Amino acid sequence: MGKGKGLSKMLQMKSGHLKIDCTIAEPEASSMIEAFRAIGYSIETAIADIIDNSISAGAKNIWIDYSWRGPDSVIGIMDDGCGMSDEELIQAMRLGSISPLSERRENDLGRFGMGMKTASFSQCRKFCVLSKKAGNEKTFWTWDLDFVNQENAWKIIRYIPEGIDFLERFDRLESGTVVLWWDIDRVTKDLSADTESSRADFLATMDRVKKHLSMVFHRYIERGVKIRLQGRDIEPWDPFMIGFNGLQVRPEAMLDGGRVRIKGFILPHRSKLSAEQYDYGKGPKGSWVAHQGFYVYRNDRLLVAGDWLGLFKKEVHYDLCRIRIDLKNDIDEDWQIDIKKSVARPPARLKEALLAIAKETRARAVEVYRHRGKIVKRRLGGDEYLPVWEERIRHGKRFYRINRQHPLVRKLVQDPGPLSTEIEKVFQVIEETVPIPLITLRENENENPHGKPFEGRCENVLDIMKKIYKKFISDGIGEKEAKARLANMEPFNFYVELIEKL
């Protein structure tokens, strides 16, 4: 840094005397713009980035509209924000229109002066921005990748596609902006033909967009900003399930002189929720386990959803733990906010404090399960715990063995004979080939957390439970004792609420 400054100072002094030779090395427009396409946005994150601009422009209404026409499909994101003059729009169309180092208004969701362009180019080859300030005429400009390639120059063109019916709404707005994408090759790449199945794929993509936006902008939607997809309101998805029965809320902690605020939430145990509420908690990622972790917000806009920020791995026992972190927009560099606004990394000096808060919240989240277990055990009077797998040490090495005492297993192997000998052999092969290295590797990658036993297959587990329960009863074991045994038996210990219903 110091070195660089010194050099530029030297250049400034010397160039006056022409002692140092310099030349302009402009970026090559055509290859540069292709590189911008590869920043790694998904359609969800790209649309969210466009909406950031609408919110920063004070929009109260945002409309996302599309018309599916196979390869000729278009997507538009319209807002009733303050809009731009012709001059402002030209400036906004430039890559890097605002430096990340310049100070932003407090409610600005922008970051690098790139989002509108990079997000759009990541999905389409052509996009038009149409804008109007109150009392002004509307104006529009288009970036066309093919034209840039052809001219090899950073030129925008005065062009707007015709026959797009949802644009009619724009003329009725006092002020606002539309970003219109067409030639959306990245969205339609696998869906090139206009068929029923490609249409269904496109609609599924749009459903993902809806779920993502319901999460990323939930605080804005809760505050009354309307985001509509194809005319229908997007409902907010609140990761912390505030207002739900059984939620525990930790006091807010302030770090960095109040610029970082952290609050832990321990979500309600399943037994406190209706089936519908439990499904709500699964969120856009579709599972409780995936949604544990930190939620990092910058100016109330969610950047990172359910991630332990490298401090822990995702584990089943912590699936009720969600921790909110609120940041302002003046500490981006500290938190390494990226162009896509989907990555945030805490600065090293805060790690200790984050770790302490997370540990405390996680401990409370585990306690919910222990507590449930205890209640059930106390009520049922359970005894010994029966896992399916046991750890064994052999010649100083770790191995995993199927527990022959587990009632499900014992039933299979207890009668001596050819069948049980066969089963014993199969067990041994399974035990000797448990894919520990693969499991360890995947655990560390932390991408898709492993599910809890029978996750998403509740009926199956209930079925097995019923069978064992019946067997216990027919063996003359009392109801209470039978239930207690199930509560202490893997994997049924994860489903104590089902035991209570037997």
CA–CA dist 477, 381 (Å, integer): 13
We find the least distance from the C-beta atom of residue 93 to Mg ion, in angstroms, to be 12
- Joined tokens for residue 24: 């302009």
Which residues make Cβ contacts (< 8 Å) with residue 330, sequence separation at least 6?
A: 103, 104, 259
Q: How far is CA 440 from CA 25, 400, 448, 449, in A?
A: 48, 14, 13, 12
Which residue's CB is nearer to ligand ADP, number 82 or number 380? Answer: 82
Does 113 participate in binding ligand ADP (rule CB under 6 A)? yes
Q: Which does 97 bind (CB under 5 to 8 A by kind): ligand ADP, Mg ion, none?
A: ligand ADP
Does 97 participate in binding ligand ADP (rule CB under 6 A)? yes
Q: Which does 323 bind (CB under 5 to 8 A by kind): Mg ion, ligand ADP, none?
A: none
Does 79 participate in binding ligand ADP (rule CB under 6 A)? yes
CA–CA dist 481, 167 (Å, integer): 68
Q: Alpha-carbon torsion 275, 280, 283, 288, what sign?
A: negative
Which residues make Cβ contacts (< 8 Å) with residue 28, sequence separation at least 6?
A: 152
Which residue's CB is nearer to ligand ADP, number 97 or number 403? Answer: 97
17-56: contacts with Mg ion (CB under 5 A): 52-53
Decide: 130 and 178 in contact? Cβ < 8 Å: yes
Strand partners, 297: 302, 326
CA–CA dist 258, 264 (Å, integer): 16
We find the least distance from the C-beta atom of residue 20 to Mg ion, in angstroms, to be 37
Which residue's CB is nearer to ligand ADP, number 120 or number 292? Answer: 120
Q: Which does 177 bind (CB under 5 to 8 A by kind): ligand ADP, Mg ion, none?
A: ligand ADP
Does 81 participate in binding Mg ion (rule CB under 5 A)? no
Q: Which stretch binds ligand ADP (CB under 6 A): 75-83, 262-270, 348-356, 447-455?
A: 75-83
Which residue's CB is nearer to ligand ADP, number 97 or number 205? Answer: 97
395-414: contacts with Mg ion (CB under 5 A): none
The total of other beta-carbon atoms located within 10 Å of residue 388's CB is 14
We find the least distance from the C-beta atom of residue 47 to ligand ADP, in angstroms, to be 12
Which string of x and - marks every residue 44-63 that binds ligand ADP (by CB under 6 A)? ---------xx--x------
DSSP 8-state symbol, 199: H
We find the least distance from the C-beta atom of residue 222 to ligand ADP, in angstroms, to be 21
Q: Return the residue matching tokens 């003329």.
A: 171
Which residue's CB is nearer to ligand ADP, number 43 or number 289? Answer: 43
Task: Using CB under 6 A, pick the residue from 29, 32, 39, 98 that binds ligand ADP.
Answer: 98
Does 154 participate in binding ligand ADP (rule CB under 6 A)? no
10 Rama sector, left if φ>0, alpha if ψ -120 to 50, beta otherwise:
alpha
CA–CA dist 92, 81 (Å, integer): 15
Residues of this chain that interact with Mg ion (CB under 5 A) are: 52-53, 110, 115
